[in-house]
Chains A and B, each alone.
Chain A
Amino acid sequence: MNDAHRRGEPMLEQQARGAFERSVAELDAATRAKLRRARRTALESLEAPRRGVLLGRSSSWIAAGAVAAVAISFAWLIPQNGGVPQQRAVQLASSPDVDLLLGKDELDMLEDLDFYSWLDQQAKRDPPKSANDGIG
């Protein structure tokens, strides 16, 4: 948000930001120490060996499949008040809860695809100065 936008900003938004910034400034020492540790842990990732991309993706899909298999198996074991167990398994597999459990990989992939799409739009708006500015 640039200064020109803020100059004409309504009072409530200025006050909201002020309240937020005060809450940030007033963070206690213990929380700040935890954030420092989190930052250092993250930066250690620069040096830590990474899993191969293919292995990492495969592991995620395997884990997602395992979760789905467990969920469906669990549905078979639960005594049913009514309905055929197969119907219950199908219902469970398509239920929002299973979607929630499997949702992380979808978010991971969408996170990358959508961001690369945004980067592409930015590149069209501001052409790269060198040939090596592309993604990949």
Chain B
Amino acid sequence: MQSAALKLLPTDAAAENPAVEPALELEAFLRDVEARAYRIAVLELRDADEALDAVQEAMIRLVRRYAKRPSTEWRPLFYRILKNRIRDGQRRRAVRNRVMSFFGPRDADDADPVAEAAAPEADGPVETIARADAMQALGSALLELPSRQREAFMFRNFEGLDVAQTAAAMGCSEGSVKTHYSRAAKRLRERLGDHWP
């Protein structure tokens, strides 16, 4: 369950200037969500720099447009914005690939951002490799899903959005969220098998 501790104790500055407290609350929210949002964007875009750009753009848009909305609305709205930025990135890549294929051979294998993740230091080499392999297998399996199923699974399972919040983030009905999610889970189970990780 993601942290709901978005409200901070008011400081003297906040008490004197009411505008300061919302900014602190917004900062706390972004600090809470940024790492997971980045990981989700990396899984979708398969490029660390593009993922970082998408997360930053989503943060900026949330702050500029929706800072005054109740904080309970920030999470689904943030992921809705992030999803749109990810789609932008995927579309730009599709156009870029078409142009590149016209002028020459495509690039070799895309960089695997999962494989680029730093290995943990606490575990031994066997455990380290096993965990990296598990995440890599999960990432590959997720990429094989249709985009809507992948979104539903990541928003519900990774970020912990409830059905209504996921529907808002995806721009679809709650029934569609449940359908996408159950199909995603079923396909992942088939793909990864009973003995994953």
Query: Interface SS of chain B: helix, strand, loop or mixed?
Result: helix
Count of A interface residues, CB-CB < 8 Å = 47
Name A's B-contacting residues (CB within 8 A). 1-3, 6, 10, 12-13, 15-17, 19-24, 26-28, 31-32, 34-35, 38-39, 41-43, 45-46, 50, 97, 100-101, 103-104, 107-108, 110-112, 114-115, 118-119, 122, 133
- Which partner residue on chain B sits nearest A128 by CB separation? B70
- Known contacts: A43-B27, A107-B88. The answer to whether A122 contacts B164 by CB under 8 A is yes
Q: Which residues of B contact A15 (CB under 8 A)?
A: 134, 196-197
A50 and B64: CB pair below 8 A? yes
Count of B interface residues, CB-CB < 8 Å = 62
Produce 1/0 per residue, B133-160, CB < 8 A to A: 0110010000000000000010011101
Query: Interface SS of chain A: helix, strand, loop or mixed?
Result: helix
B67 touches A (CB below 8 Å): yes
Q: Of B1, B52, B91, which is in contact with the most chain A CB atoms at under 10 Å from its CB?
A: B91
Q: In the complex, what's the smallest C-beta–C-beta distance from A111 to chain B, in angstroms?
A: 6
A110 and B138: CB pair below 8 A? no
Contact pick for A42, options B39, B59, B157, B158, CB 8 Å: B59
A23 and B117: CB pair below 8 A? yes
